[in-house]
A and B are shown apart, each in its own frame.
Chain A
């Protein structure tokens, strides 16, 4: 039990915070309903994928500054391929773009392994490269998305056996998110590859000495990051119907949510659930700020303060809960 709290306490706390925020939202805006929840789910979508992308590499002991640029590139690629193309063509575009994310992510990893330049620099350089590539694909926002793709995040999923009012609280965007993340994450987490990713993040030398193929694992972690980022890019195209070559604010948001979600920036610790809940928390905070019509200049202060306060609080309780006997 105490181990559960030591390992999952942070996530549980975050979840409680999320519930609390929903209550607050309902108090601020009594009309807040299933439709608004659907909006939240759609807003979360690109952030959640960006955060998933960041989480994988952070757990592997790295950081990926190219997440947002990767999303921009995959988004414009998808949008320009679907521009004027048939609905069926999108069936080809989606896997193509995902493969592209995977390959470019792997390229990040390969460059890190081969050049031995620190990951922060490699991915910073790749940020410029991918941004440049996005500009070459589309010089200005444009392109299009297939209608069926756009429809895939709008509305709700009828679940047999559930009453209609309950169905209304199951937005397609949320289902899409959960399905995509689970398909990739759960098998990974259970596999030896997943353990290896944690291992190289926790202690690279020990991992190498335990027989983990460090270089290969790192490349795979970045490839997965690229895949998640491509999903994020696709979700941008799907929700806006266009592709924009200028990266959105997903890089810093992803790092912030990763940390809020209880993943240590040093690597080796945490999971995907925490950061995803953190994304919901951060988006819901923004909703509340809008509902409250807070002065927009103050919202920046509030968002920054919340981020700092939550992390400080986390640091504080870890300091407090450190068992008395242990040497610090």
Chain B
């Protein structure tokens, strides 16, 4: 059907968000009708490994590469070589430093800032917050930390009771929150970097006082915001479907429709259950049929054209 071959490089495997991203890429490639074949390099590796994948994709002579960068700067050389070889390069989810690459990305700093600011407001501008970060040393984590610190600076009376790294692992996060609850340290709010539903579970199991919780728009957590009694919280969108948007952008460029700027930022939204308006939004967003680790925002208006069935089926062209 289509005429293009698109290469995809991703360096985290087995994580719900990333799996959704890959499925969005496949679904979008299929829905666009312009893609003959996807060539996906999807494994757990580092920047050097991603360079290897990108170069393999160059060897495979793809028309465009959509990449979720392991690191903004670390794959610069590979992207440069791709551009030189006449391949369109689009980075999703995170920016890259290579100037020739196009970027369509979630704004990680803004993601953290938005959630943290809402949380601190809920806490009445004072009190202790349990700060549950992602993986130590990951660049998305340090971007989010910037946003969190920015919000913290705006609320001088809010203190971080404890800072932990969950490694974006459910089990680790749960053990951490349980240990922390056992210390009996009073807290007024919990900010999580997307490992959210196990936290609410832990609060419920331990019959601990419910405090406001900020998480991401993962299906599990959104469901909890709608159903768990006494839970006040907010889900900040971090659509994995950005992958589909990346494919769309790449196709546009291949078709000669270059965007005005190299960088397109998708700004996060915040859905809370403290107000009626927010509740309604959450209700409509909830999707219990999705895996609890999958973000519910499975599409991005203007950028993706596939149906829910298509992304859930997770099939690309030719499959």
Contact = CB atoms under 8 A, between A and B. Distances in A.
Interface of A: 29, 31-32, 36, 39, 42-43, 46, 134-135, 138-142, 150, 154, 236, 239-242, 244-249, 283, 286-287, 290-291, 293, 295-297, 299-300
B31 interface: no
B43 interface: yes
B48 A46 contact: yes
Interface SS majority for chain B: mixed
Interface size class for chain B? 35 or more
A141 B47 contact: yes
B77 A248 contact: no
A283 B52 contact: yes
Contacts of B76: 241
Given A134-B137, A239-B77, A246-B137, A286 B56 contact: yes
A290 B60 contact: yes
26 contacts: A32-B59, A39-B56, A42-B51, A139-B136, A140-B141, A141-B71, A141-B72, A150-B77, A240-B51, A240-B77, A241-B73, A241-B77, A244-B46, A244-B74, A245-B136, A246-B46, A246-B136, A247-B46, A248-B49, A249-B44, A249-B46, A249-B49, A290-B57, A293-B40, A296-B22, A296-B41
B124 to A, nearest CB: 31
Interface string B124-137: 00000000000111
B43 A140 contact: no
Contacts of B142: 139-140
A300 B52 contact: no
A58 to B, nearest CB: 23
A290 B43 CA distance: 11
Interface of B: 5, 13, 22, 37-49, 51-53, 55-61, 70-77, 135-139, 141-142, 319
B139 A141 contact: yes
B45 A295 contact: no
A140 B137 contact: yes
A236 B48 contact: yes
Contacts of B73: 141-142, 240-242
A72 B151 CA distance: 32
A26 to B, nearest CB: 11
Contact of B47 (A43, A244, A283, A290): A244
Given A141-B73, A249-B44, 20 more contacts: A36-B59, A39-B52, A42-B55, A43-B48, A135-B137, A138-B137, A139-B136, A140-B138, A239-B51, A240-B48, A242-B71, A244-B46, A245-B137, A246-B136, A249-B46, A286-B56, A290-B39, A293-B5, A293-B38, A295-B40
